[in-house]
Structure 1
């Protein structure tokens, strides 16, 4: 019996999944964990460096995860990192700290690689032919145009829930100033202007990945009397409902957003910024619905790993 652990050093969360290799070459998930570590927090005000506090949060999380995956014999550990580490000017120092703490050499994904693994993970788990794919992370957004189940276009953009919130002060205690939201929206829109393939008159669904989008799914499920903690993979919302939820969040205080988010109250300061890339994408593409995927970059990595066995 052999096992694979994938550790994902994201810009907002540090995650771990443990998989068991089956006789037919597929993997069965045994354990999944997530800790909110906000690795990207404070980078803009720290000359592009990861802060000591944020790095310590991640190292502590990895040590905690190590105690979990070391209970499995014959386990291979794969580490990946995304936007925050990719952009950090002290990347090498941080990766050295990680290696000294848990002995894992972390692979820093390029933006294109991250977008591709998102695509690979999503299409392997959803029966869909043509769609947009949006993964909103803490410090980057991955966008993919899917045609006939193939990635026709893909890109990673250097903004996400954490750095947008900090850049435009969308994380105050009271109701966020609408002017600040307008400025942040315009910033996202300006970034989208550089993607001519994003303009499409054909109405396509948007596949959603990322923490802010998962929070959106849970909010909508609660509104419809559905359990928020169950698997939301394949769950759908109309874009009209998405925009309504965004407006509601934008008109709440931090305390009210925290109450609405419940177990994810710690996202109250980044939920508005986290939904902005989706709101702008809806306005660009005239999409009529969104489909949530629980399968993304880690699952895409597993698909690739299987092909190398």
Structure 2
């Protein structure tokens, strides 16, 4: 069976087309576009028309590839931004027109479950796992062994924290301190809710984490195979975070592993990861290239 999974978040929209057999996924195609669907949602409570149009343009390309390959099943999940927006129906009607399926605006708990399923498949590390999916608008905290035991979704993400706090280029120390205080309060509450301090292995998902891992590994270019399941020590995460927050957007964009559309929000994403490591007491994080997208694909099988 061939399936297509689409994950539309606050910052990016991603496609995975995969063959599913015997409980395993074989990638046919993985694509990602930065569309910033959630631009301004934290401030206005609405999806901007230009953000919906950027998403529509990316989705047109995905729909063409899905049709060309004759995929058996399609599932599209939309997360933080489209949960929060008062005009989410504008987004949903656009998706129906382009893709021909209803986008599922999933809850934070479902987002957490799918992320966990994608992340722990094939992971060789000591459970229980604390899986954190740092998105654009929200971050999911999930604790479990082979399945989810506890999960919570909280409204901190790289886009949301940048828009709320980090206005300078580079951000001023006072802005960083305000962001860190905001993140710390939320992380502490989330860790208490999921009993995160007792987990043995911290697993980090999504573009902020994998970009920090690529920088910590000093890769000459983005290499998903090198990043997947790499274990990054806290000291390396702290150094990368300080470097990113101390540099301009233009400087970040020049880094060889940096996606241009992530350069303005990566400092906040790295800060969220660093605070999670500090508050949970974890000395390292395992970066995973498998996440909610893989969980969506597994759900279709």
What's the TM-score once normalised by structure 2's chain length? 0.92
Partner of 2:16: 17
Distance 1:192 1:74, change over 3 A: closer
Partner of 1:130: 128
Secondary structure in 2 matching 1:31: strand
CA apart distance, 1:266: 2.8
CA apart distance, 1:27: 3.4
Partner of 2:223: 229
Question: RMSD of aligned C-alpha atoms?
Answer: 2.0
Larger Rg: 1
Q: C-alpha separation between the residues in 1 aligned to 2:62 and 2:237?
A: 34
Which 4+ residue blocks in structure 1 deviate beyond 4 angstroms? Answer: 197-203
Q: C-alpha separation between the residues in 1 aligned to 2:130 and 2:261?
A: 28
Return 5+ residue gaps in structure 2 as ranges.
none
**Is the 1:215–1:261 Cα contact (8 Å) retained in structure 2?**
no
CA offsets per residue over residues 63-99 of structure 1, 9 Å max, x none? 1111111111253221111111111111122101211
Distance 1:201 1:50, change over 3 A: closer
Bigger relative CO (Cα 8 Å, ≥ 6 apart)? 2
**1:1-309 alignment runs, 5 A limit:** 2-22=1-21, 24=22, 26-45=24-43, 47-73=44-70, 75-128=72-125, 129-146=127-144, 148-168=145-165, 170-173=166-169, 175-195=170-190, 196-197=192-193, 204-222=200-218, 228-231=222-225, 232-260=227-255, 262-306=257-301
Secondary structure in 2 matching 1:194: helix
**Is the 1:116–1:154 Cα contact (8 Å) retained in structure 2?**
yes
CA apart distance, 1:244: 1.1
CA offsets per residue over residues 251-304 of structure 1, 9 Å max, x none? 212222222355423322101111222111112121111101111112122333
Return 5+ residue gaps in structure 1 as ranges.
none
Count of residues paired in the alignment: 298
CA offsets per residue over residues 172-221 of structure 1, 9 Å max, x none? 33x21011011011111111333424676657332010111111111122
**Is the 1:206–1:287 Cα contact (8 Å) retained in structure 2?**
yes
What's the TM-score once normalised by structure 1's chain length? 0.90
Secondary structure in 1 matching 2:136: coil
